[in-house]
């Protein structure tokens, strides 16, 4: 359980838009979630620590444009201060105390403005320091955001001002604790480092709700209170990442401790306020191995979890066919389905090379080897071209086989007769009018004729099989991509029905159709 | 694997693609078929003075006999191919214009016809080679009476007087055509009368149970009757006839299988008388077929007699002395040579018709005569197609079957072996076999006898 840190930095930027008399602070212009603002804050914080103050300032401004939290103004001011852009820094600090007049550190900020104005008057304005400039995370402000269900509930934030102060007790005197802010939900407050206690006093029929908060540097602490239960929600944020960056759309399934089943709560990027407790999180995304993690959600905390997903060992082949009404799809010699218009054939396969064959009646079969990377989908598009009718080829092939078969039979018969004649001659019993001589001769002639005719027919058959004036079927493969979660659309083909119908006064057929 | 098998089949089949290889099977075949309508019932072969081997084949159909020359000077079986010498002109040219050939109920080689030249006192060739053809109707128009004829290869033709007063013509006239053709009625061979080499003919009809001898074909003489005593009536006298050289003259043999007896006759041309000089005796059925040939190489022909499905051999040298006039005939003792059917190569001996026809020749050129015996209903390769059994008999030997010839492609009822004959082709005794059911006469160039010459035809 940890609060998310937001850090900012200031870099040296020679010219300031504020110094040139532009708006002292940017007006919120963009819409977005706290998470979007936080993304800019994260980036600004990284740049600040790298001492790229000018770039960091731009990020904090972007964050402010999404969510007008005064903290972003403060952090941007610090960036300008670092590069001694006094006008911008002074303008932003002033804006900060203006939008957040109850800021607990208001006296400190006013002193800081005075100091900057003095430095500016000192004559070194516009001359950036050449010495090393320190940049630590402690210099950044943090934010506490308090929401409630229902909203518009009163909020009080108490700061622990004495190290010896005891535990905060609602309704008691609480020495050592000072109330630093109050308002109604949704309540946002920029706060320096320290220990705080957030109280939502009794409101309407709801119970009072409270929690301790430790504000670390550059963090956003979000709290959501379920007033009816008198407890704060914890916030869970889940992002899914792959080797190539963030992937979206992974299903997040949660199971609270004690529950028996996972419940699908949505897809990444995922953010949800949850009751405190232990949760099992399961993230599932086609093409990736599912991941599971256990997490304790604590009220008042934003828990952001990154799931680095590993690709699965298999992939998906999707086959699309053009030019035919239906086509048979075989992968690695195994029939996987019949393609029809609007319903592509899909098959999960182990990563690697697979032979895809698409065939249809009267169409030339298309065959290709498809490389499927791990956890990716490859979409194969084919266009099956008309095939040449091979009826005559088959006819001549069968006739050729019959003739050659007949030739073999006659040849064998002839050989048998020759054996008999040899035996008769050996026994000195052969005469020149032996009927087997003539018969053998006829068989041999017949065999020769059969072989000749069969051979010619075989050649004709081969020619007819080989001859092909029509183009071959075509196909191409799309670049492997992540799995497409959207199911293939199912198109209902138009159909007509004719049904008999009758009544006492009528008999006939009813025609109905679906389109 | 299956594709390989198909390929193998295809290549095997392709090796058969060349039909021309079948032409090789037609040349130099171990057997040569001569086919014509109604052939194979009778076969005969003779060699004329010019070295032509003439094969005659005939049947009981009106097509009669045809003659084929095996080529002049053919010295060995692998010589010039057999050509049809187109000698069936007997009917169309010589007997009746445009009518069918004779019905050749029997066919017998008569060989060279020679006569003594009175001036030079030497023998002069009259015809190079002749065949005697048995009785039958001579033409469709019946304008020529039945009787034996002799046809010679140079076109010579002799029509015998149809027994006129002797009753032969009457006997035939009383029968219908079918019956006459079914008879076994004639045999012929060369007759030596000291002055000429002149075929004589012996004929018989077992319908009337009578037999006659034509002592010469050169003149129209009445035949001399050689009919046995009245007690042979009803015993199928005349079922078979033969003519054999014996003791410097010729004897004429007529069988009566009903009593198991064969009568041997001599005739006196001058007095036109005959004498029963000897008898072959055996069980009932003896003499269903008769064949005379010189087997043992001496001066006398030997007799091969069917005795109830076996062939018994009566050697010419064993012929007994003629009895005194008026005495019963003397018994001609049989030799120890008995040739039997064996279930070797062919089966079905009991019903094979073994012994219906016999030929004698040295088929394997070992200097010893071999004997071929037809069995037209023997079973080969499971088919009753017929076979010819070959022996090389010796007196006192076991006389086993040495070879069996049958068709390379057996055919039911082919009746291969319905007739057999032997004759010289060049220097080689060659077997001719008739297959009545196929209308084919086969020249069997090669037998499987031990030592058969390895000509191109006989190479395995």
The ipTM is: 0.79
Residue B438 touches partner A, C-beta closer than 8 Å: no
How is residue A198 written in tokens? Answer: 């957030």
Contact B66, B57 (CB under 8 A): yes
Asked if A415's CB is within 8 angstroms of B16's CB, the reply is: yes
Q: Is B107 helix (H, G, I), strand (E, B) or coil?
A: strand
| A451: closest chain B residue by CA | B14
d(CA A414, CA A450): 13
A158's enclosing H/E stretch is strand A154-160
The confidence score (pLDDT) of residue B38 equals 59
Confidence of residue A509 (pLDDT cuts 50, 70, 90): low
Contact B205, B138 (CB under 8 A): no
Task: Among B19, B77, B83, B438, pick the best mutation site for testing chain A contact (most A Cβ within 10 A).
Answer: B19
- For A26-36, write each residue's pLDDT tens digit: 555 556 777 77
Compare CB distances from A408 to B13, B18, B407 and report the shortest one's residue.
B13
Residue A402 touches partner B, C-beta closer than 8 Å: no
- For B188-218, write each residue's pLDDT tens digit: 444 445 555 666 778 777 667 878 888 877 7
d(CA A25, CA A386): 70
Contact A44, A66 (CB under 8 A): no
d(CA B294, CA B298): 7
Residue B19 touches partner A, C-beta closer than 8 Å: yes
Terminal alpha carbon distance of chain A: 56
Chain B residues in contact with A445 (beta carbon < 8 A):
19
Of B405, B421, B406, B413, give the one whose Cα is nearest residue B439: B413
Q: Is B435 helix (H, G, I), strand (E, B) or coil?
A: strand
Work out whether strand B273-281 and strand B330-331 pair parallel, antiparallel, or are unpaired: parallel
Residue B35 touches partner A, C-beta closer than 8 Å: yes
Asked if B10's CB is within 8 angstroms of A425's CB, the reply is: no
Compare CB distances from A447 to B17, B30, B407 and report the shortest one's residue.
B17
d(CA B84, CA A139): 139
Asked if A407's CB is within 8 angstroms of B12's CB, the reply is: no
Provide the percentage of residues in chain A whose pLDDT is more than 90.
Answer: 22
A90's enclosing H/E stretch is helix A86-99
- For A110-151, write each residue's pLDDT tens digit: 888 888 888 888 755 444 445 556 777 777 777 777 878 777
d(CA A467, CA A473): 16
Q: Is the pLDDT assigned to residue A458 strictly greater than 80?
A: yes
Asked if A433's CB is within 8 angstroms of B13's CB, the reply is: no
Compare CB distances from B32 to A410, A429, A431 and report the shortest one's residue.
A431
Residue A415 touches partner B, C-beta closer than 8 Å: yes
CA distance B374 to chain A (A): 16
| B30: closest chain A residue by CA | A428
Task: Among B387, B409, B414, B430, pick the best mutation site for testing chain A contact (most A Cβ within 10 A).
Answer: B409
Task: Among B8, B11, B17, pick the best mutation site for testing chain A contact (most A Cβ within 10 A).
Answer: B17
Residues A180-219 as b/e (b if ≥16 CB within 10 A, e otherwise) read: bbeeebebbbbbbebbbbbbbbebeebebbbbebebbbbb
Q: Is A260 helix (H, G, I), strand (E, B) or coil?
A: coil
Q: Provide CB contacts within 8 A for A81, sequence distance 6+.
A: A10, A89, A116
DSSP 8-state assignment for residue B347: B
Average pLDDT of chain A? 80
Residue A451 touches partner B, C-beta closer than 8 Å: yes
Chain A residues in contact with B22 (beta carbon < 8 A):
418, 437-438, 440-441, 444
Measured at the CA of B159, the angle between CA B154 and CA B163, to 5 degrees, comes to 155
d(CA A344, CA A379): 10
Asked if A441's CB is within 8 angstroms of B19's CB, the reply is: yes
A197's enclosing H/E stretch is strand A194-200
Of A280, A294, A286, A274, give the one whose Cα is nearest residue A250: A286
DSSP 8-state assignment for residue B318: G
| B445: closest chain A residue by CA | A428
Low pLDDT (below 70) residues in chain B: 1-17, 36-42, 46-118, 131-149, 151, 153-155, 161-199, 206-207, 230, 452-455, 460
Compare CB distances from A437 to B6, B25, B440 and report the shortest one's residue.
B25
The confidence score (pLDDT) of residue B184 equals 42
List the beta bridge partners of residue A292.
A282
Confidence of residue A462 (pLDDT cuts 50, 70, 90): very high
Asked if A430's CB is within 8 angstroms of B25's CB, the reply is: yes
Compare CB distances from A431 to B22, B31, B448 and report the shortest one's residue.
B31
CB-CB neighbours of B193 under 10 Å: 14
- Cis ω before B174 (30° cut-off from 0): no
| Most confident listed range (A197-206, A372-381, B55-64) | A372-381
CA distance B82 to chain A (A): 11
Q: What are phi and psi of B303, to 5 degrees?
A: -115, 130
Q: Is the pLDDT assigned to residue A391 strictly greater than 60?
A: yes
Residue B433 touches partner A, C-beta closer than 8 Å: no
Q: What is the 3-state secondary structure (H, E, C) of A486-506?
A: CCCCCCCCCEEEEEEEEECCE
- Cis ω before A269 (30° cut-off from 0): yes
Measured at the CA of A362, the angle between CA A359 and CA A364, to 5 degrees, comes to 50
CB-CB neighbours of A141 under 10 Å: 28
Inter-chain CB pairs, A–B, below 8 Å: 112
Task: Scan for tokens 């194979």, then name that residue.
Answer: B40
Compare CB distances from A436 to B6, B409, B446 and report the shortest one's residue.
B409
Asked if A447's CB is within 8 angstroms of B13's CB, the reply is: yes
Compare CB distances from A429 to B13, B19, B30 and report the shortest one's residue.
B30
Asked if A434's CB is within 8 angstroms of B409's CB, the reply is: yes
Alpha-carbon distance values, B374 to B35, B290, B379, B414 (Å): 19, 13, 12, 13
Residue A26 touches partner B, C-beta closer than 8 Å: no
Residue A436 touches partner B, C-beta closer than 8 Å: yes
d(CA B181, CA A440): 40
Q: Is B25 helix (H, G, I), strand (E, B) or coil?
A: helix
Residue B26 touches partner A, C-beta closer than 8 Å: yes
Task: Among A431, A436, A440, A441, pick the best mutation site for testing chain B contact (most B Cβ within 10 A).
Answer: A431
Please state which of the ranges A221-225, A438-442, A483-487, B23-27 shows the lowest mean pLDDT.
A483-487
Chain A residues in contact with B19 (beta carbon < 8 A):
440-442, 444-445, 448
d(CA A77, CA A218): 14
Alpha-carbon distance values, B368 to A245, B295, B305, B391 (Å): 118, 8, 20, 11
Q: Provide CB contacts within 8 A for A251, sequence distance 6+.
A: A264, A266, A267, A283, A284, A285
Q: Provide CB contacts within 8 A for B5, sequence distance 6+.
A: none
Task: Scan for tokens 């903290």, then name that residue.
Answer: A71
d(CA B411, CA B384): 7
Alpha carbon of residue A451 to chain centroid? 67
- For A300-347, write each residue's pLDDT tens digit: 667 788 888 888 888 889 999 988 899 999 999 999 999 998 888 999
How is residue A304 written in tokens? Answer: 């952001």
- Cis ω before A150 (30° cut-off from 0): yes
The confidence score (pLDDT) of residue B238 equals 83
Mean pLDDT of A214-220: 70
Residue B345 touches partner A, C-beta closer than 8 Å: no
């Amino acid at each position: 359980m940890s609060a998310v840190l937001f850090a900012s930095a200031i870099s040296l930027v020679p010219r300031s838009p504020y110094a040139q008399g532009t708006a002292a602070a940017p007006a919120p212009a963009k819409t977005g979630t706290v998470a979007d603002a936080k993304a800019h804050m994260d980036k600004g914080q990284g740049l600040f620590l790298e001492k790229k103050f000018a770039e960091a300032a731009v990020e904090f401004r972007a964050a402010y444009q999404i969510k007008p939290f005064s903290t972003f103004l403060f952090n941007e001011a610090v960036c300008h201060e670092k590069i001694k852009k006094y006008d911008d820094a002074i303008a932003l600090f002033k804006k900060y105390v203006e939008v957040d007049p109850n800021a607990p550190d208001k006296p400190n900020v006013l002193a800081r403005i005075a100091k900057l104005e003095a430095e500016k008057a000192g004559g070194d304005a516009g001359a950036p320091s050449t010495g090393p400039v320190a940049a630590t995370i402690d210099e950044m402000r943090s934010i506490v955001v308090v929401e409630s269900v229902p909203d518009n509930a009163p909020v009080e934030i108490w700061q622990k001002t004495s190290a010896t102060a005891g535990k905060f007790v609602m309704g008691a005197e609480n020495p050592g604790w000072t109330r630093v802010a109050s308002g109604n939900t949704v309540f946002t407050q920029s706060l320096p480092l320290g220990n705080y206690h957030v109280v939502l006093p009794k409101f309407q029929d709801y119970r009072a709700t409270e929690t301790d908060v430790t504000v670390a540097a550059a963090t956003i602490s979000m709290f959501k209170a379920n007033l009816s239960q008198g407890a704060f929600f914890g916030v869970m944020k889940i992002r899914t990442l792959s080797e190539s960056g963030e992937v979206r759309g992974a299903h997040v399934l949660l199971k609270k401790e004690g529950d028996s089943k996972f419940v699908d709560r949505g897809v990444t990027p995922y953010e949800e306020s949850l009751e405190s407790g232990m949760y099992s999180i399961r993230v599932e995304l086609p093409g990736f191995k599912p991941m599971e993690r256990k997490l304790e959600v604590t009220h008042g905390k934003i828990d952001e979890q990154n799931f680095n997903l590993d690709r699965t060992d298999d992939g998906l082949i999707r086959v699309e066919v053009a030019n035919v009404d239906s086509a048979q799809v075989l992968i690695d010699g195994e029939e996987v389905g019949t393609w029809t218009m609007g319903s592509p054939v899909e098959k999960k396969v182990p990563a690697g090379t697979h032979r895809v064959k698409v065939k249809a009646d009267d169409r030339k079969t298309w065959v290709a080897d498809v490389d499927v990377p791990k956890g990716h989908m490859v979409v194969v598009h084919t266009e099956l071209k008309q095939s040449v009718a091979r009826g005559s080829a088959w006819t001549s092939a069968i006739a050729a086989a019959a003739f050659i078969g007949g030739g073999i039979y006659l040849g064998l018969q002839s050989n048998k007769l020759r054996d008999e004649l040899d035996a008769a001659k050996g026994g000195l019993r052969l005469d020149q009018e032996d009927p087997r001589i003539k018969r053998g001769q006829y068989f041999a002639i017949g065999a020769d004729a059969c072989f000749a005719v069969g051979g010619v027919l075989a050649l004709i058959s081969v020619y007819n099989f080989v001859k092909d004036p029509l183009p071959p079927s075509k196909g191409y493969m799309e670049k492997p991509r992540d799995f497409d979660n959207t199911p293939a659309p199912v198109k209902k083909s138009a159909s007509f029905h004719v049904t008999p119908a009758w009544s006492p006064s009528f008999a006939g057929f009813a025609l109905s159709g679906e389109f | 694997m299956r594709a390989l098998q198909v390929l193998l089949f295809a290549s095997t089949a392709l090796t058969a693609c060349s039909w021309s290889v079948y032409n090789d099977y037609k040349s130099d075949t171990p057997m040569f078929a001569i086919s014509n309508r109604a052939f194979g019932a009778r076969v005969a072969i003779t060699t004329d003075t010019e070295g032509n081997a003439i094969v005659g084949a005939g049947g009981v159909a009106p097509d009669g006999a045809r003659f084929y020359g095996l080529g002049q000077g053919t010295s060995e079986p692998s010589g010039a191919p057999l050509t049809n010498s187109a000698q069936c002109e007997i009917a169309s040219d010589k007997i009746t214009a445009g009518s069918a050939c004779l019905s050749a109920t029997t066919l017998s080689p008569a060989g060279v016809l020679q006569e003594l030249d009175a001036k030079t006192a030497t023998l002069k060739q009259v015809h190079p080679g002749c065949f005697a053809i048995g009785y039958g109707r001579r033409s469709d128009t019946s304008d020529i009476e039945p009787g034996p004829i002799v046809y010679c290869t140079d076109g010579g033709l002799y029509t015998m007087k149809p027994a006129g007063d002797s009753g032969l013509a009457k006997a035939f006239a009383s029968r219908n055509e079918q019956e006459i053709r079914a008879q076994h009625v004639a045999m012929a061979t060369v007759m030596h009368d000291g002055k000429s080499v002149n075929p004589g003919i012996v004929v018989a009809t077992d319908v009337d149970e009578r037999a006659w001898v034509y002592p010469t074909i050169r003149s129209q003489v009445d035949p001399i009757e050689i009919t046995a005593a009245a007690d042979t009536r009803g015993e199928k006298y005349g079922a078979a006839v033969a003519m054999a050289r014996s003791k410097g003259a010729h004897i004429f043999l007529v069988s009566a299988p009903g009593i198991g007896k064969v009568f041997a006759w001599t005739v006196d041309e001058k007095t036109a008388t005959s004498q029963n000089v000897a008898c072959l005796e055996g069980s009932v059925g003896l003499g269903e077929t008769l064949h005379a040939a010189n087997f043992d190489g001496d001066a006398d022909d030997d007799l091969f007699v069917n005795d109830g499905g076996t062939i018994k051999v009566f050697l010419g040298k064993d012929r007994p002395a003629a009895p005194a006039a008026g005495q019963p005939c003397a018994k001609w003792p049989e030799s120890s040579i008995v040739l039997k059917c064996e279930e070797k190569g062919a089966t079905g001996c009991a019903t094979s018709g073994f012994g219906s026809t016999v030929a004698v020749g040295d088929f394997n050129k070992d200097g010893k005569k071999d004997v071929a015996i037809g069995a037209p209903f023997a079973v080969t390769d499971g088919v009753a197609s017929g076979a010819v059994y070959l022996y090389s008999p010796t007196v006192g030997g076991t006389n086993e079957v040495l070879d069996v010839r049958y068709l390379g492609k057996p055919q039911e009822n082919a009746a291969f072996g319905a007739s057999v004959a032997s004759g010289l082709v060049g220097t080689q005794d060659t077997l001719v076999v008739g297959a009545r059911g196929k209308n084919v006469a086969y020249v069997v160039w090669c037998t499987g006898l031990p030592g058969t010459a390895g000509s191109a035809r006989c190479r395995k």
